[in-house]
Amino acid sequence: MEIPIFTVDAFTNVPFKGNPAAVCLIENELQDDLYQSIAAEMNLSDTAFITKQNSMDFTSAPGMTKRHLMDTFFNKTKKMECNQVVAFGLKFWMFHLQDQDEIKDLLKAAVGDLPIQDVFYSPAIKNLMIRLADTCNRSDLMSLRPEAETLVRNETTGKIKSLIVTLKGTQTSQSGYDFYSRVFSPWVGVPEDPVTGSAHTVLAGYWSEKLEKKKMMAYQCSSRGGEVKLEMRDDGRVDIIGQAQIILQGILKI
C-alpha cells in the first residue's frame, strides 16, 4: 500500500513555524491499529487522515481521535491542494474563578514573580488559565521558562492537563493581536505546545467576554509561534482559523 503523505505547518504562513502535523490522503478507511502506527511513526502532535469527503481524523495519541473539518481537498491525482487556510469549529468551554491560595506553589512555578490578574479553571477539559496583569507585556510572557518537572510536582491531583498563560494584547500599530498565550502540558508529556486549538476554546470564551468582541486575532508565543483567528458563534462554538504551509510531501509505503 502506498499513501501520499505531507507535513503541514498550521497557523502560520512561514515554514517551520506554527503547529506541525502529518497529513495522509487515503482512498478507504484503515484498520484502527494502522492509524495509530502511522501516527506514532510520524512522531508529531497530530496526524490527519483525509478522504475525498474532506473529513479529517486527527490522531494525537493511542486511543484518542478528534474529528475536524479542514479547507483542503483530495483530488483525482492523489495530491493535496490547500488554499492555505485551516478552519474548524469547536465548542468553547466554560470556566470558573480559581482560588489562587489553593495553588500558590503551582502559580509560582509557572510565572515566577510576574503579577497575576486572574486565574480560571475549566473542568471540562482540565485547563488552568492564568491571566497576567496588564502591566506585563509580550516579552514578559515569552521570557517564562517553567520547568516541566516542577509543574508536575506541584500538581499531582490529576485535575490539570494543560496550563495556559495569557496576556491582553496591546492593539498598537505594530500588533493587531487581541491577546497572547502560551500553553504548557507536561502532565500529558508535552512541555510546551506550539499552537493549541483546544486551549483557544477556553481563551476565546474568556477574552470575548472581557473585550466584548465576537471576532479576535490571537498569537501563541511558543518558540515556533502561531496566529489564530477566532470567531464566536451563537451556537456555543468558536471557529478557529489560520493559515497553513505544506513543507514536505512523499509516499508512505506499508
DSSP letters, 103-136, are: GHHHHHHHHTT--EEEEEEETTTTEEEEEEPTT-
Both 108 and 224 in a single domain?
A: yes
Both 188 and 120 in a single domain?
A: yes
Q: How many CA atoms lie within 13 A of 234 on its CB side?
A: 0
pLDDT cut 90: percent of the chain above it? 65
Both 132 and 109 in a single domain?
A: yes
Predicted pLDDT of residue 226: 95
The count of domains in the chain is: 2
Give the chain's mean pLDDT.
85
Both 59 and 35 in a single domain?
A: yes
> What digits encode the pLDDT tens for the residues 94-111?
789 999 999 999 999 999
Burial 163-199 (b: 16+ CB within 10 A, else e): bbbbbbbbeeeeeebbbbbbbbbbbeebebbbbbbbb
Model confidence at 154: pLDDT above 50 = yes
The whole-angstrom distance between residue 220's C-alpha and the CA centroid of its chain comes to: 9
Predicted pLDDT of residue 74: 40
CATH code, domain carrying 229: 3.10.310.10
Q: Residue 47: which domain range?
A: 2-87+243-253
Both 186 and 100 in a single domain?
A: yes
Q: Is 63 left (phi over 0), alpha (psi -120 to 50) or beta?
A: left
Both 212 and 109 in a single domain?
A: yes
Model confidence at 23: pLDDT above 50 = yes
Model confidence at 182: pLDDT above 90 = yes
Both 64 and 101 in a single domain?
A: no
Residue 80: pLDDT band by 50, 70, 90 thresholds?
low
Both 82 and 151 in a single domain?
A: no
